[in-house]
Amino acid sequence: MDMKISLSSRGLMTAINPPQEGDPPLQDQIKYGALYYIRHHLHPDLKSEYLMDENPHDLWNSLKERYEQQKAVILPDAQREWSNIRLQDFKSIGEYNHAVHKICSRLLFCDKAPTDAEKIEKTLSTMLPAHRVLQQQYRARNYQHYSELIHTLLQAEKHDELLLKNHHQRPTGTAPLPEVNSNVQNTKRFDSNKRRPKNFKGKNNHIKKQKFHRNNKGKSIFNNKDKSDICRKCGCYSHTTKKCHTPKHLVDLYLKSVGRSRPTQGKRFEAHFNLQSDTTRTTSCSQNVHPELNNDITLKEQEDLEGMDNMLVDFASNDLFGDFD
C-alpha cells in the first residue's frame, strides 16, 4: 500500500500496471524512477535477493506472488482472536476499541472484515453481567454504526471516572467539622450582604483580643519567658504571684509536684503589737493571743461551776431579763 501511494503520487503507476496493446514503451526515467521507489520500501535482505531485476513490473509481480500467500497464514489467527475478544477482558473502552481495529484490519487484508452490526453485537454481548441494564438501554437505541456506540461508551466511562475521583477526594461522611472554639453570633447591626468598613472596631476585635490572651495561658510559651516572671503558686507565666487566682487545691498539687509546701499563715497581728511573756490579763491587744500548739495532751482543770447557778433563769416566768423589777 505504501508503494502504491508513493508511485501514484508521482505519476509512476503505469510502470507496474500490465502493458496494454497499443501502449507506447516506457521511458527510462519512468522505469527507473518506479524501480527506485519500490526498492526504497524493501527490506535489505530482499534488495539483495532481487538485485538483478530491472523491470518494475516483473519485480512487483514477484513480490505479489510471494506475499499473497500470507493471507492463508494470517486469516486463521485473526478469526480466532475475533471469536475470543471480550469487552469485559479490558480495563477501558479505549483499549478494547484499539484491539478491535487491529483485528479488523487483519481480517480486511484477508477480505473477511466484519460488518458494523457484527461489531456492535460483539461489544454488547460481551459486557459485564453487572451492566445488564446498560446493555438493554444501548440495545433499545438501535445503533447502526459501531463508531456511535464506542463514542457513547467512552463518554459514559469518562463520567464514571470523574465521579470516582470526586468520591475519593472526599469520601462520604468526611465533611469538615466546625472548630471547637468557634463563636457564632447573630448580630443585626450590619446587613450580611453589606461589607463592613475596614476601621470597624466592635465585638470581633474584642473577641480577637480575648483569643490572643487565652492563647498565652499555660506552659506552651515556656521558652519565650523569663523564669523570674513565674508564678510561685501555680507555675504560670501569664500573671504574677500577687495576681494569682488559682484554686487552693491546684496550688497545693503544683507545690507538691515541685517539692515545695504551702506556707502556713496564722492570724496577722497589728504592726505595733509587742508580744511579752506576761500572762496577766491586764495585757490589752486587738486580738487574743492563742497559745502555741503542742503535741502534749493535757486535760484542763475543771472550772468552778458553782457560779453558774446564779446564771440559770426561770424561762417559765415572764421576766426573762429581770428588768421588770
Tell me the three cell numbers of residue 202. 466592635
Residue-wise pLDDT tens digits, 255-292: 888 877 766 555 555 556 565 555 545 444 445 545 55
- Encode pLDDT of 67-115 as tens digits: 878 888 889 999 999 999 999 999 999 999 999 999 999 999 888 999 9
Residue 164: exposure state from Cβ atoms within 10 A (0-12, 13-18, ≥19) = exposed
User: Max alpha carbon distance in the chain (Å)?
Assistant: 177
For residue 93, count CB atoms less than 10 angstroms from its CB and return exposed for 0-12, middle for 13-18, buried for 19 or more: buried
DSSP code string of 239-251: S-STT----HHHH
Neighbouring C-alpha atoms within 13 Å toward the C-beta of 308:
3
Q: Output the pLDDT for position 79.
A: 93
SS3 content of the chain, % helix, strand, coil (to 5): 50, 0, 50
Average pLDDT over residues 16-26: 79
- 59-63, 143-147, 191-195, 235-239 — most confident range: 143-147
CA gap 166, 286 in Å, rounded: 82
Other CB atoms within 10 A of residue 124 CB: 18
What is each CA distance from 131 to 9, 84, 88, in whole angstroms? 49, 20, 10
Q: Is pLDDT of 305 > 50?
A: no
What's the pLDDT score for residue 234? 85
The whole-number pLDDT of residue 236 equals 84
Q: Report the mean per-residue pLDDT for the chain.
A: 75
The structural domains of the chain, with segments of one domain joined by +, span 2-68, 71-169, 228-262
Cell of 273: 503589737
How far apart are the C-alpha atoms of 309 and 149, rounded to whole Å? 122
